């Protein structure tokens, strides 16, 4: 995702998160504040989480030797 668009979605997600906090302070129904909080989280973290997942899925898995190289000898 391009930087300006990513920044804008993060700002919108943060504003939704703030709105849910205001809703808690003003005594809005629990479902409304929960939905605002969930929407804020999805908008804020969604694009970066999807990009990270796609990057992880596109890489080939590491070989067993490469993974075990980082473990102590007694572990293997």
> 58 burial class (0-12, 13-18, 19+ CB within 10 angstroms)?
exposed
Query: Are the C-beta atoms of residues 1 and 52 closer than 8 Å to each other?
Result: no
Query: Are the C-beta atoms of residues 22 and 38 closer than 8 Å to each other?
Result: no
pLDDT digits (tens, 9 = 90+) for 29-70: 888 888 888 888 888 888 777 788 888 888 888 888 888 887
* pTM, rounded to two decimals: 0.58
pLDDT digits (tens, 9 = 90+) for 2-29: 778 778 888 888 888 888 888 888 888 8
Neighbouring residues of 6: CB distance < 8 A, sequence distance ≥ 6? 47, 48
The predicted pLDDT at position 1 comes to 60
């Amino acid at each position: 995702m391009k930087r300006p668009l990513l920044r804008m979605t993060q700002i919108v997600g943060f504003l939704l998160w703030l709105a849910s906090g205001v809703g808690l302070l003003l005594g809005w129904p629990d479902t409304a504040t929960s939905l605002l909080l969930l929407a804020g989280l999805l908008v804020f973290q969604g694009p970066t989480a999807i990009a990270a997942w796609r990057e992880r899925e596109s890489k080939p898995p590491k070989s067993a030797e490469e993974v075990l190289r980082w473990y102590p000898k007694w572990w293997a």
